[in-house]
């Protein structure tokens, strides 16, 4: 791993820690972490249940190639490649079901690569 990649990873981890620190300072507890993994044509899990007004950190990984996680309702646009995860902390403020898609073309089954966030 070259120096730039190490710097980039360290910077991203620092930003994630800073975001988590703000959430802890505001709520007194660290946000729940939701692990989402992508591989050709599927997300695991494909349904994620969240609680309204509860902060959550989404940890997005790929097991095979570049994938994206796009959730317009939450203003999430993450990119993950093999060995390069992405994280974001959100607090959903509206109940309902929200669609998520992969926005990196990954082959003929790409159009079926969807998941749902359910906020209760």
Q: Mind listing the pLDDT tens digit for each residue in 61-112? A: 999 999 999 999 999 999 999 989 999 999 999 999 999 999 988 888 888 8
Q: Mind listing the pLDDT tens digit for each residue in 25-55? A: 565 788 999 999 999 999 999 999 999 999 9
Domain count, the chain: 1
Kindly provide the residue ranges of all beta strands, DSSP E only, lying in the chain, ordered along the sequence. Answer: 32-39, 42-44, 47-50, 56-62, 67-71, 76-80, 86-90, 96-101, 114-119
Per DSSP, helices labelled H in the chain are 3-27
CATH number for the domain including 77?
Answer: 2.60.40.420
Give the domain extent around 52: 3-119
For the full predicted model, state whether its pTM sits above 0.85.
Answer: no
């Amino acid at each position: 791993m070259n120096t730039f990649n190490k710097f980039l990873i360290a910077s991203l981890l620092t930003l994630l820690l800073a975001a988590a620190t703000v959430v802890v300072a505001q709520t007194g507890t660290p946000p729940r972490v939701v692990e989402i993994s992508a591989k050709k044509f599927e997300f695991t899990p494909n349904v994620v249940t969240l609680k309204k007004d509860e902060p959550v950190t989404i940890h997005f990984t790929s097991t095979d190639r570049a994938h994206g996680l796009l959730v317009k309702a939450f203003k999430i646009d993450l990119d993950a490649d093999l060995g390069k995860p992405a994280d974001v902390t959100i607090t959903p403020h509206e109940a309902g079901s929200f669609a998520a898609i992969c926005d990196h073309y990954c082959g003929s089954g790409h159009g079926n690569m969807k998941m749902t966030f359910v906020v209760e």
